[in-house]
Amino acid sequence: MRKRLGAGVLGAITIVLGCVSYPVTTTVVAQPGKRVMAEASKFSVLWLSPLPMETAGELLDDLLEQCDGADLTGVTIGSQRGWVVIGEVAKIIVSGYCVEPSPGGASDRGP
């Protein structure tokens, strides 16, 4: 009976810890402009072909294109993984804010 109780408690702890998510980073942007987002996902059969390492860089380039030449701030990169019987689904999500030009224009910039 004691072994069953211990196994039940261990199983409950495992379930609770599997449902908890921890934030990796928090970004506070004082004056956000237009929010932009890009994502990529891939299903890997038998875990043989994961997302390439350069995927995050390509997604950042996509954010810069969405900003039409404006600067980018408050960038956050997140990843998700979901396992299924024959493989996994990996997803990378990148978001940020386009910097709005200041009302004074280029005259506010330094030399």
Listed residue (38, 40, 44) closest to 82, CA to CA = 44
State residue 64's pLDDT score: 92
**Residue 56 near residue 94 (C-beta atoms within 8 A):** yes
* Beta carbons within 10 angstroms of residue 36's beta carbon: 19
Here the tokens at position 55 are 């995927």
d(CA 87, CA 10) in angstroms, rounded, equals 27
Q: pTM for this one?
A: 0.62
**Residue 97 near residue 74 (C-beta atoms within 8 A):** yes
d(CA 52, CA 46) in angstroms, rounded, equals 16
State residue 101's pLDDT score: 72
Over the stretch 54-65, which tens digit does the pLDDT of each residue have?
998 899 999 999
State residue 36's pLDDT score: 92
State residue 107's pLDDT score: 44
DSSP for 31-51, please give it. Answer: S---EEEEEEEEEEETT-SPP
Q: Confidence class of residue 83 from pLDDT cuts 50, 70 and 90?
A: confident
Q: Confidence class of residue 109 from pLDDT cuts 50, 70 and 90?
A: very low
